[in-house]
Structure 1
Amino acid sequence: MENHNPPKLGNQLCFPLYVISKEITGLYRPFLDEIGITYPQYLVMMVLWEKDGLTVNQIGEKLHLDSGTLTPLLKRLEAKGFINRKRKKEDERVVEVFLDEAGKKLQQDACKIPSKMQEKLNLSTEDLMELKETVQKILNKIQK
Protein backbone atom coordinates (compact mmCIF):
# COMPACT_ATOMS: atom_id res chain seq x y z
CA MET A 1 0.00 0.00 0.00
CA GLU A 2 1.39 3.36 -1.04
CA ASN A 3 1.73 6.19 1.41
CA HIS A 4 0.26 9.40 -0.04
CA ASN A 5 1.29 11.61 2.86
CA PRO A 6 3.98 14.14 1.98
CA PRO A 7 7.45 13.17 3.19
CA LYS A 8 8.49 14.84 6.44
CA LEU A 9 11.95 16.35 6.71
CA GLY A 10 12.52 14.82 10.16
CA ASN A 11 11.89 11.31 8.81
CA GLN A 12 14.42 11.50 6.00
CA LEU A 13 17.96 10.09 6.12
CA CYS A 14 19.18 12.54 3.48
CA PHE A 15 18.63 15.67 5.56
CA PRO A 16 20.81 14.91 8.60
CA LEU A 17 23.51 13.59 6.24
CA TYR A 18 23.35 16.82 4.23
CA VAL A 19 23.50 18.99 7.36
CA ILE A 20 26.34 17.04 8.99
CA SER A 21 28.38 17.20 5.78
CA LYS A 22 27.92 20.95 5.64
CA GLU A 23 28.68 21.41 9.35
CA ILE A 24 31.77 19.17 9.35
CA THR A 25 33.16 21.00 6.32
CA GLY A 26 32.56 24.26 8.17
CA LEU A 27 34.46 22.98 11.22
CA TYR A 28 37.47 22.33 8.99
CA ARG A 29 37.46 25.91 7.68
CA PRO A 30 39.49 27.65 10.43
CA PHE A 31 42.16 24.94 10.37
CA LEU A 32 42.40 25.07 6.58
CA ASP A 33 42.42 28.88 6.59
CA GLU A 34 45.56 28.66 8.76
CA ILE A 35 47.36 26.71 6.03
CA GLY A 36 45.83 28.65 3.13
CA ILE A 37 43.63 26.10 1.38
CA THR A 38 39.94 25.30 1.01
CA TYR A 39 38.27 22.02 1.91
CA PRO A 40 38.12 20.77 -1.72
CA GLN A 41 41.80 21.71 -2.14
CA TYR A 42 42.57 19.79 1.08
CA LEU A 43 40.94 16.70 -0.42
CA VAL A 44 43.10 16.98 -3.55
CA MET A 45 46.23 17.46 -1.45
CA MET A 46 45.43 14.39 0.68
CA VAL A 47 45.15 12.29 -2.47
CA LEU A 48 48.53 13.56 -3.67
CA TRP A 49 50.17 13.09 -0.27
CA GLU A 50 49.13 9.43 -0.48
CA LYS A 51 50.44 9.04 -4.04
CA ASP A 52 52.21 11.80 -5.94
CA GLY A 53 52.14 11.95 -9.74
CA LEU A 54 48.55 10.85 -10.34
CA THR A 55 46.70 11.89 -13.46
CA VAL A 56 43.82 14.35 -13.29
CA ASN A 57 41.46 11.46 -14.09
CA GLN A 58 42.84 9.32 -11.26
CA ILE A 59 42.39 12.18 -8.77
CA GLY A 60 38.86 12.72 -10.07
CA GLU A 61 38.02 9.04 -9.60
CA LYS A 62 39.26 9.03 -6.02
CA LEU A 63 37.32 12.18 -5.13
CA HIS A 64 34.25 11.48 -7.28
CA LEU A 65 34.80 14.76 -9.15
CA ASP A 66 34.65 15.42 -12.88
CA SER A 67 37.45 17.26 -14.66
CA GLY A 68 35.29 20.39 -15.00
CA THR A 69 35.21 20.68 -11.20
CA LEU A 70 38.73 19.43 -10.60
CA THR A 71 40.61 21.56 -13.15
CA PRO A 72 39.86 24.94 -11.47
CA LEU A 73 40.88 23.44 -8.10
CA LEU A 74 44.17 22.27 -9.57
CA LYS A 75 44.79 25.65 -11.20
CA ARG A 76 44.35 27.40 -7.85
CA LEU A 77 46.66 24.93 -6.08
CA GLU A 78 49.22 25.43 -8.84
CA ALA A 79 48.95 29.23 -8.52
CA LYS A 80 49.66 28.86 -4.79
CA GLY A 81 52.80 26.86 -5.59
CA PHE A 82 51.61 23.60 -4.01
CA ILE A 83 51.45 21.48 -7.18
CA ASN A 84 52.47 21.48 -10.80
CA ARG A 85 50.74 19.86 -13.76
CA LYS A 86 52.61 18.24 -16.61
CA ARG A 87 51.37 16.69 -19.82
CA LYS A 88 52.52 13.12 -20.28
CA LYS A 89 55.13 12.80 -23.04
CA GLU A 90 53.61 9.56 -24.37
CA ASP A 91 50.10 11.02 -24.53
CA GLU A 92 49.72 14.80 -24.26
CA ARG A 93 46.00 14.46 -23.52
CA VAL A 94 46.93 13.03 -20.11
CA VAL A 95 47.88 15.52 -17.40
CA GLU A 96 49.84 14.34 -14.35
CA VAL A 97 49.87 16.25 -11.09
CA PHE A 98 52.94 16.50 -8.86
CA LEU A 99 53.55 18.07 -5.46
CA ASP A 100 55.92 21.04 -5.35
CA GLU A 101 58.16 21.56 -2.31
CA ALA A 102 55.58 23.88 -0.73
CA GLY A 103 52.93 21.17 -1.20
CA LYS A 104 55.15 18.62 0.52
CA LYS A 105 55.81 21.03 3.41
CA LEU A 106 52.08 21.74 3.70
CA GLN A 107 51.58 18.11 4.68
CA GLN A 108 53.39 18.72 7.98
CA ASP A 109 50.87 21.40 8.97
CA ALA A 110 47.94 19.34 7.69
CA CYS A 111 48.93 16.37 9.87
CA LYS A 112 47.65 18.30 12.89
CA ILE A 113 44.14 18.75 11.47
CA PRO A 114 42.62 15.29 12.21
CA SER A 115 43.40 15.51 15.93
CA LYS A 116 42.14 19.11 16.06
CA MET A 117 38.90 17.95 14.43
CA GLN A 118 38.52 15.05 16.84
CA GLU A 119 39.01 17.43 19.76
CA LYS A 120 36.48 19.90 18.32
CA LEU A 121 33.90 17.12 17.80
CA ASN A 122 34.58 15.75 21.28
CA LEU A 123 34.20 12.14 20.10
CA SER A 124 36.32 9.14 20.99
CA THR A 125 38.45 7.43 18.37
CA GLU A 126 36.09 4.44 18.64
CA ASP A 127 33.01 6.59 18.00
CA LEU A 128 34.66 8.20 14.98
CA MET A 129 35.70 4.83 13.57
CA GLU A 130 32.20 3.40 14.08
CA LEU A 131 30.63 6.40 12.34
CA LYS A 132 33.07 6.18 9.45
CA GLU A 133 32.43 2.44 9.05
CA THR A 134 28.66 2.97 8.98
CA VAL A 135 28.88 5.77 6.44
CA GLN A 136 31.32 3.69 4.33
CA LYS A 137 28.86 0.74 4.37
CA ILE A 138 26.11 2.97 3.01
CA LEU A 139 28.45 4.43 0.38
CA ASN A 140 29.54 0.94 -0.72
CA LYS A 141 25.90 -0.12 -1.17
CA ILE A 142 25.13 2.99 -3.21
CA GLN A 143 28.15 2.51 -5.48
CA LYS A 144 27.35 -1.13 -6.37
Structure 2
Amino acid sequence: MSRPTILSFDQIKDELFTQWDITGHQLNRHLLSMSLTGTPDVVADLITFPPGFVHHMHRHPHADQFVLPLKGSVRFAGVPGRFVDLAPGQLLVVPRNSWHEVRNTSDEDCQVFHFFTGVGAIEDIGFEPWDSSGAPAE
Protein backbone atom coordinates (compact mmCIF):
# COMPACT_ATOMS: atom_id res chain seq x y z
CA MET A 1 0.00 0.00 0.00
CA SER A 2 1.25 3.47 -0.90
CA ARG A 3 1.69 6.26 1.62
CA PRO A 4 1.68 10.06 1.28
CA THR A 5 4.90 11.48 -0.15
CA ILE A 6 6.21 15.03 -0.09
CA LEU A 7 8.20 16.07 -3.16
CA SER A 8 10.54 19.06 -2.92
CA PHE A 9 10.98 20.45 -6.43
CA ASP A 10 14.42 21.87 -5.66
CA GLN A 11 15.70 18.40 -4.71
CA ILE A 12 14.85 16.92 -8.11
CA LYS A 13 17.50 17.43 -10.77
CA ASP A 14 16.74 19.10 -14.10
CA GLU A 15 17.09 16.96 -17.21
CA LEU A 16 17.78 18.67 -20.52
CA PHE A 17 15.19 17.62 -23.11
CA THR A 18 15.50 18.20 -26.85
CA GLN A 19 13.55 16.66 -29.68
CA TRP A 20 13.41 17.14 -33.45
CA ASP A 21 10.09 19.07 -33.27
CA ILE A 22 11.26 21.48 -30.53
CA THR A 23 12.98 24.80 -31.13
CA GLY A 24 15.49 25.20 -28.31
CA HIS A 25 15.21 22.89 -25.30
CA GLN A 26 13.29 22.41 -22.08
CA LEU A 27 14.40 21.42 -18.59
CA ASN A 28 12.33 18.66 -16.98
CA ARG A 29 12.08 17.65 -13.35
CA HIS A 30 10.26 14.31 -13.31
CA LEU A 31 7.87 14.28 -10.36
CA LEU A 32 5.17 11.62 -10.76
CA SER A 33 4.83 8.36 -12.66
CA MET A 34 4.21 4.71 -11.92
CA SER A 35 7.95 4.01 -11.68
CA LEU A 36 8.78 7.09 -9.56
CA THR A 37 5.87 7.31 -7.13
CA GLY A 38 3.55 4.39 -7.88
CA THR A 39 0.91 6.63 -9.47
CA PRO A 40 -0.68 4.45 -12.18
CA ASP A 41 -2.81 7.18 -13.77
CA VAL A 42 -0.76 10.39 -13.50
CA VAL A 43 2.54 11.51 -15.01
CA ALA A 44 3.80 14.95 -13.97
CA ASP A 45 6.85 17.13 -14.51
CA LEU A 46 8.00 20.56 -13.49
CA ILE A 47 9.18 22.04 -16.79
CA THR A 48 11.19 25.17 -17.54
CA PHE A 49 10.83 26.69 -21.01
CA PRO A 50 13.68 29.12 -21.78
CA PRO A 51 13.05 32.22 -23.92
CA GLY A 52 12.51 31.28 -27.58
CA PHE A 53 11.30 27.74 -26.75
CA VAL A 54 8.70 26.24 -29.12
CA HIS A 55 7.17 22.76 -29.02
CA HIS A 56 5.59 22.76 -32.45
CA MET A 57 2.05 21.56 -33.21
CA HIS A 58 1.40 18.00 -32.01
CA ARG A 59 -1.11 15.90 -30.08
CA HIS A 60 -1.26 13.09 -27.50
CA PRO A 61 -3.89 10.46 -28.36
CA HIS A 62 -3.83 8.47 -25.10
CA ALA A 63 -3.80 11.06 -22.28
CA ASP A 64 -5.41 14.32 -21.21
CA GLN A 65 -2.83 17.06 -20.58
CA PHE A 66 -2.85 19.90 -18.05
CA VAL A 67 -0.47 22.87 -17.98
CA LEU A 68 -0.31 25.18 -14.94
CA PRO A 69 2.14 28.10 -15.26
CA LEU A 70 3.96 28.78 -11.98
CA LYS A 71 6.37 31.47 -13.18
CA GLY A 72 6.29 33.56 -16.36
CA SER A 73 3.80 33.10 -19.17
CA VAL A 74 3.43 30.55 -21.92
CA ARG A 75 1.72 30.99 -25.28
CA PHE A 76 -0.57 28.15 -26.27
CA ALA A 77 -1.98 27.56 -29.75
CA GLY A 78 -4.81 25.06 -30.12
CA VAL A 79 -5.30 25.72 -33.82
CA PRO A 80 -2.53 27.03 -36.09
CA GLY A 81 -2.68 30.83 -36.18
CA ARG A 82 -4.81 31.21 -33.00
CA PHE A 83 -3.26 31.48 -29.55
CA VAL A 84 -3.78 32.47 -25.93
CA ASP A 85 -1.19 33.57 -23.36
CA LEU A 86 -1.39 31.74 -20.02
CA ALA A 87 -0.09 33.17 -16.75
CA PRO A 88 0.22 31.86 -13.19
CA GLY A 89 -3.21 31.21 -11.76
CA GLN A 90 -4.56 29.80 -15.03
CA LEU A 91 -4.87 26.09 -15.82
CA LEU A 92 -4.83 24.88 -19.42
CA VAL A 93 -6.79 21.69 -20.11
CA VAL A 94 -5.84 19.88 -23.34
CA PRO A 95 -8.13 16.89 -23.96
CA ARG A 96 -6.47 13.85 -25.50
CA ASN A 97 -6.13 14.03 -29.29
CA SER A 98 -6.26 17.86 -29.34
CA TRP A 99 -3.69 19.57 -31.56
CA HIS A 100 -1.58 22.11 -29.67
CA GLU A 101 1.65 24.09 -29.63
CA VAL A 102 3.47 25.70 -26.70
CA ARG A 103 5.85 28.70 -26.86
CA ASN A 104 7.76 30.95 -24.54
CA THR A 105 7.61 34.31 -26.33
CA SER A 106 8.99 36.28 -23.38
CA ASP A 107 12.60 37.07 -22.52
CA GLU A 108 12.37 35.19 -19.20
CA ASP A 109 12.13 31.52 -18.28
CA CYS A 110 8.63 30.11 -17.94
CA GLN A 111 8.09 27.34 -15.41
CA VAL A 112 5.01 25.11 -15.58
CA PHE A 113 3.58 22.19 -13.65
CA HIS A 114 2.72 19.82 -16.49
CA PHE A 115 0.78 16.61 -16.08
CA PHE A 116 -1.02 13.87 -17.99
CA THR A 117 -3.88 11.71 -16.71
CA GLY A 118 -4.86 8.21 -17.72
CA VAL A 119 -1.31 6.88 -18.05
CA GLY A 120 1.47 5.83 -15.69
CA ALA A 121 4.47 6.48 -17.96
CA ILE A 122 5.38 9.28 -20.35
CA GLU A 123 5.88 6.69 -23.10
CA ASP A 124 2.17 5.80 -22.85
CA ILE A 125 0.75 9.25 -23.70
CA GLY A 126 1.28 8.80 -27.43
CA PHE A 127 2.70 11.49 -29.68
CA GLU A 128 1.74 12.59 -33.17
CA PRO A 129 3.39 15.58 -34.89
CA TRP A 130 1.67 17.93 -37.32
CA ASP A 131 3.42 17.77 -40.67
CA SER A 132 4.61 20.89 -42.52
CA SER A 133 1.81 20.68 -45.11
CA GLY A 134 -0.73 21.42 -42.35
CA ALA A 135 -2.09 17.90 -42.08
CA PRO A 136 -1.46 15.28 -39.42
CA ALA A 137 1.67 13.24 -40.18
CA GLU A 138 0.96 9.70 -41.33
Structure number with the higher strand fraction is: 2
TM range (shorter): under 0.3
TM-score, L = length of structure 2: 0.27
Structure number with the higher helix fraction is: 1
